[in-house]
Amino acid sequence: MGFPANRLAFFIGISLLLGTTGATGGGAPFAVLVSYLNWRNATLILGAIGLLIALIVWAITREPRIEPKSSRNLVNPKAEVQISVLRSMVTILRNSQTYVFGLYGGLMYVPLSGFADLWGVPYISTLYEVDRMAAAGSVSLFYVGVGAGSPLVCWLSDRLESHKNIMIWGGVFLVFIFASIIYVPRIPFVFTYVLFFLGGVFASCQFLAFASVCEINSNKASATASGIHNMMCMVSGIIFQPVIGKLLELHWKGEIQKSGGPLYTHADYIFALSIIPVCVVIATVLGFWMKETYRK
């Protein structure tokens, strides 16, 4: 709301770049912090940083200048606003493209939520027999790639004058990246840094769907449309994180670690993580049903 409408995709990309720096910090850097302190003190430090950020936002952030609408003739202006929001939600949910973009975004989010957020570190630890800190350092390059790719794909979409094509090609390349990570045996460990970085770059193509879902709906409902789309993306994490866990249990042969937990093998992870490239393939196919929303 505070920037030109024709730069919407670019500013979404910049905000996601800043957001993924936090996700990157939650990987290897946070693991290092916990190794020097205990988890409780490390978490208290994060809480203090969060409080500091909240104070800074309160002190310096200003509302965008918007022409006020007269509400003298309204008996209950707040009720009118609530009705408007409800109507916006109904309109957004009646638009079939909302679901196409939502399914695309949700399925393209699975590599991040299902792999980078949860199962990537134990998989890399098992495959390369490295400690969790080294594995976290490798997987954190996925977030670095997402951060670098977010403004990059928005710039590229402006150059090619297309959101749809960028999102489709991002899915195609992401399939190859995860097929290499999962199915190609014993890639040298140093190459995983490159693969995860590139995977993050291609995964960031999904964020064009945020701009697109705003552009297929009314400008007045853009925040609501973005929120609904974000909800659809987050639901995929809620679904696929435990689904991957269940697939691991199904393929597990009953081996136990010294600590008493289940010992998952490389074959177990290949079986369970295969759902990730499948999701990306489906997302890529859905791309052909997406409406082109790029505007010159």
Query: Residues of the chain with pLDDT > 90: what percent?
Result: 43
Q: Characterize 131-145 residue by residue with b for buried, 16 or more Cβ atoms within 10 angstroms of its Cβ, and e for exposed.
A: eeebbbbbbbbbbbb
CA 108 to chain centre: 8
Cα-Cα-Cα-Cα dihedral sign, residues 285, 290, 295, 296? positive
What secondary structure does DSSP assign to 100-123, as a single string?
HHHHHHHHHTHIIIIIIIIIHHHH
CB atoms within 10 A of CB 206: 29
pLDDT digits (tens, 9 = 90+) for 69-107: 444 444 555 555 555 778 888 888 888 999 999 999 999
pLDDT digits (tens, 9 = 90+) for 215-266: 888 777 888 898 999 999 999 889 999 999 999 999 988 888 777 778 888 8
pLDDT attached to residue 72: 46
Residue type, 146: V
pLDDT attached to residue 254: 81
pLDDT attached to residue 74: 47
* Six token digits for residue 152: 């990059």
Domain ranges in the chain are: 5-67+77-289
- Looking at the domain 5-67+77-289, which fold is it? Growth Hormone; Chain: A; (1.20.1250)
pLDDT attached to residue 257: 76
pTM: predicted TM-score of the whole model, two decimal places: 0.79
Mean of per-residue pLDDT scores for the chain:
85
pLDDT attached to residue 159: 85
- Please tell me which residue, 272 or 117, carries the higher pLDDT value: 272
**What is the 8-class DSSP label of residue 220?**
G
- Beta carbons of 275 and 265 less than 8 angstroms apart: no
The band of 5, judged by pLDDT with boundaries at 50, 70 and 90, is low
